[in-house]
Structure 1
């Protein structure tokens, strides 16, 4: 799930790398601290405040990307046999992560305004989850965002049934305007918030973070130290430099503009093929599309021609065959892929 490399600002990243590389003394030679580079955590706290999430550096632990954050949260909360709720569809890498900890994974259908809270309430009569992982803003793979009514009902159910919400907001910077975050409503009482920069800056800069209540953040920092010592301060200094210089916001605005143009072309091309879209896409880097046939077969045929497809079965905890497929908003830039899909649908 990456943007085209040509859209990313290599000059922005390389300039920050050079600036950090000019530091003298032993600043770049030490491990750093388990919580993460303090100036970065201060920058992240300011960004969270702009999203109406009250947090200081004591709420934040840096990670090697959101995947690492998910791993730390799972290690802290889960024991073998515990139940985790995930959205269906959802980001599939976490399914294996939770299974490795011996957790039972239960899917909650994702609608256009968030998880189906009616189904969720019914599932809560039969299961007692420790965690519910949610992509509230520009959800992967549907690129939909949670509504206020859905968010309030979700937090109400979390309070009634005593489970923790893990809010994955790795795509949130690509949302135009002020998106609603569960953490802004809850203020990190029952919500743990995850973010990162690999999607918007560079996949090689594996810098993410977890924001949580201070006591949970301290425990996650201990787990981070026990399982992998500290995160690399070098890359954290690079991200700090990018954020401090104020160019990141303009860079993201340019990305949104390029995405908007490409997304519209991709959506129209898919509809012309007879593909049904989950919703009219307005933001984000993905589209969730119904091809009306088993997309596992499409993925196999694509692989034979050097075209990577993301069939819907990957995104469900059931892993059952599906007619749905995740399509990149920038797919219209890949003429070979678009011709392949047109032939499949002919």
Structure 2
């Protein structure tokens, strides 16, 4: 069936998964593919068009989720009987609204992997969600309806090692039931803790497995560290801008925050020393490399200066390092450079394996880790051993480092392309790391001094998710900056929107929306 021709121009073309989805949908709407007709198998389609089977599998999965196709194990894929009817008509607008809940109505472009085809049917009936910090921190993880996710914080699903995950899940499924019957060890699955300790040794950090505590993502590790090391009313220094989730966590814990400006080379040493001297800060929270949201990393000189201040003024450092596996080069690791007990180290596998595993870890001095484990058990008992075993199987297969190398190469290319597009459209770029997920940038005047939240709301009406800088600012200030995920920011519709916005020269707060229509 000749209804699909892949476009491989990496700079301008949509991802191949999106191309396959759009082509099949178009063929069904045009009656080239009729209800009940079978599609080529995944391998046949991949072979005929020179694609990876994983690309075709992801596309077919989206089409099944969107009710375009039906599937049954061993029987392949075929066009659904009601595939030509819009989802809103087939299921009723009330049911669509009920599924959307507080987020907004879902269109038929929704898929369970978090991706969507911007050209799918039902886009006209899609209602944008309301932007805000609460949406960013909660509903966003359930809302798969937004076609272009330039502001999200994860890798595209088709970039993940699907074959490795499936093989690991199969391996774990063979585990004898008697080994899974209990709650597991309070510190977590020992082979994975041992693997983490050995991996950290390669970064110059000598720790034992007993200094590694597995957590439900790095977020639980952050919560545990705050509960054990700090008390309500304590002052903690945070980067400005900083990781968005740290802000509500600290507010819930009753902490006072002191914002420390961060530029492309690291933290302002002057501001940090002033905060330590004036307010007697108890801790500093920092993303060392490939920071969320700016993408920048501390220079080695800046890292040493931060550690010197921590020693001089006796405050602890909570080092969140979840993106290190995306860094192809060396970068400073505070926990390896500091004396014992000064740094609590947090990381996990959400950026490299899959966010849904929720497997993270924290490393610290042995006496702290015992206290951390007690807090973990009091809060939620042990962490899910099935997920920890699955992650361990992924790591021990021998293909994980090759997978990381592929991701790093794809991110490097995405950085080059998105930076070129930003330069072409006159955006100011905070730093050009060439690695990791994020770029921090803002549009030319008059948007340069504010209006990023309004811009994000305008973009969302066009099916584009942007992440305004106020989400990442301790004082929620709108300075015009936006976080871009480079893996999702090459879509032509995004740059068409930005081009029209820049050309219109629309002042923040104006009502000239029609200029962009």
Question: Could you say whether these structures have the same fold, taking a TM-score greater than 0.5 normalized by the shorter chain as the test?
Answer: yes
1:337 and 2:489 are equivalent in the alignment: no
SS of structure 2 residue aligned to 1:199: coil
Displacement of 1:333: 3.3
Task: Answer 1 or 2: higher relative contact order, Cα 8 Å, separation at least 6.
Answer: 1
Tell me which of 456, 479, 486 is aligned to 1:322: 479
SS of structure 2 residue aligned to 1:106: strand
Tell me which of 449, 463, 467 is aligned to 1:306: 463
Cα RMSD of the aligned pairs, angstroms, is 1.2
2-structure distance, mates of 1:230, 1:337: 43
Change (3 A) 1:222 1:80: same
SS of structure 2 residue aligned to 1:193: strand
Cα offsets for 1:139-162 (capped at 9, x unmatched): 111111111211111111101111
Displacement of 1:342: 2.2
2-structure distance, mates of 1:188, 1:199: 27
1:60 and 2:212 are equivalent in the alignment: yes
Cα offsets for 1:157-200 (capped at 9, x unmatched): 10111111011110001111222201110154301111111111
Equivalent residue, structure 2, for 1:244:
396
Q: Tell me the TM-score normalised to structure 2 length.
A: 0.66
Q: Contact 2:234/2:256 (CA < 8 Å) preserved in 1?
A: yes
Equivalent residue, structure 2, for 1:35:
187
Any residues of structure 2 matched to 1:277-316 within 5 Å, and which? 277-292=429-444, 293=447, 294-316=451-473
Equivalent residue, structure 1, for 2:362:
210
Cα offsets for 1:55-109 (capped at 9, x unmatched): 1111110011111111111111222111111100111111000100100111101
SS of structure 2 residue aligned to 1:129: coil
> After the TM superposition, which of the residue ranges 285-294 and 254-263 deviates more from structure 2?
285-294
Q: Contact 2:295/2:439 (CA < 8 Å) preserved in 1?
A: yes
Q: Contact 2:235/2:258 (CA < 8 Å) preserved in 1?
A: yes
Change (3 A) 1:237 1:188: farther
Equivalent residue, structure 1, for 2:171:
19
2-structure distance, mates of 1:89, 1:148: 20
Q: Contact 1:188/1:211 (CA < 8 Å) preserved in 2?
A: no
> After the TM superposition, which of the residue ranges 4-13 and 205-214 deviates more from structure 2?
4-13
1:227 and 2:382 are equivalent in the alignment: no
SS of structure 1 residue aligned to 2:369: helix
Tell me which of 275, 285, 300 is aligned to 1:133: 285
SS of structure 2 residue aligned to 1:124: helix
1-structure distance, mates of 2:376, 2:492: 43
Q: Larger Cα Rg: Structure 1 or Structure 2? A: 2
Any residues of structure 2 matched to 1:21-170 within 5 Å, and which? 21-170=173-322
Displacement of 1:257: 0.7
Equivalent residue, structure 2, for 1:177:
329
Q: Report how many aligned residue pairs link the two structures.
A: 346
Q: Contact 2:238/2:285 (CA < 8 Å) preserved in 1?
A: yes
Displacement of 1:329: 1.2
Q: Contact 1:53/1:187 (CA < 8 Å) preserved in 2?
A: no
2-structure distance, mates of 1:154, 1:97: 23
Structure 2 unaligned blocks of 5 or more: 1-152, 504-517
SS of structure 1 residue aligned to 2:335: helix
Q: Tell me the TM-score normalised to structure 1 length.
A: 0.97
4+ residue runs over 4 A deviation: none
**Which structure has more strand as a fraction of its residues?**
1
Q: Contact 1:331/1:338 (CA < 8 Å) preserved in 2?
A: no
Cα offsets for 1:29-50 (capped at 9, x unmatched): 2210111111110000001101
Q: Contact 2:277/2:313 (CA < 8 Å) preserved in 1?
A: no
Displacement of 1:278: 0.7
1-structure distance, mates of 2:259, 2:194: 36
